[in-house]
Copies of this chain bind each other. A is one copy, B any other.
Amino acid sequence: MPTTTKEPTYEIGQFAGIVGLSAPTIRYYENQGLLKARRTANGRRYFTEQDIKWVKFLLHLKGTGMSINDLKKYVTWRAEGDSTIPYRLDLLKQTKADFMEEYRQVQHHLQILNDKIDWYEAKESGKDTGKEPFADYLKQVGHEE
């Protein structure tokens, strides 16, 4: 008794929905060479579970700051086989380094944003109490660099 359940396939619309992109974006990615779609006899694209995993992986890389162009490089090298692993590794490491740098800066930006929110909240609550000991506090939180 063959329990060979055939792997499900998806047309572009369904596939797009699953990976959280639009159908045109999927076509765009295919044109950019980031993914390749199988075709039915009538020329319609269809995708597999593997494709879902692949796109999700690409989106993770993209989410760390890799541009479409970076992804293209990666995909091209990947297609060229194991000899390009050092290039791919360098690219990923550089991506990580850039990410970490951005991360640090963004932490600082968040700090300032939080300070400002606190500042406004203190000011608002002060408005209600009628008191205003905020002139000093104001200076204190005056964003020095």
Contacts and interface: CB of A to CB of B under 8 A. Distances in A.
Interface in A99-117: 99, 105-106, 108-110, 112-114, 116-117
A10 to B, nearest CB: 17
Size class of the contact patch on chain A? 35 or more
A110 B103 CA distance: 11
A86 interface: yes
Given A60-B108, A63-B106, A96 B114 contact: yes
Nearest to A54: B143
A145 interface: yes
B89 A124 contact: yes
A17 to B, nearest CB: 16
Given A60-B108, A105-B63, A112-B57, A120 B145 contact: no
A93 B117 contact: yes
A85 interface: yes
A107 to B, nearest CB: 10
B89 A121 contact: yes
Interface string A44-73: 000000000100110011111000000000
8 contacts: A60-B108, A60-B109, A62-B109, A64-B109, A64-B112, A64-B113, A85-B120, A96-B113
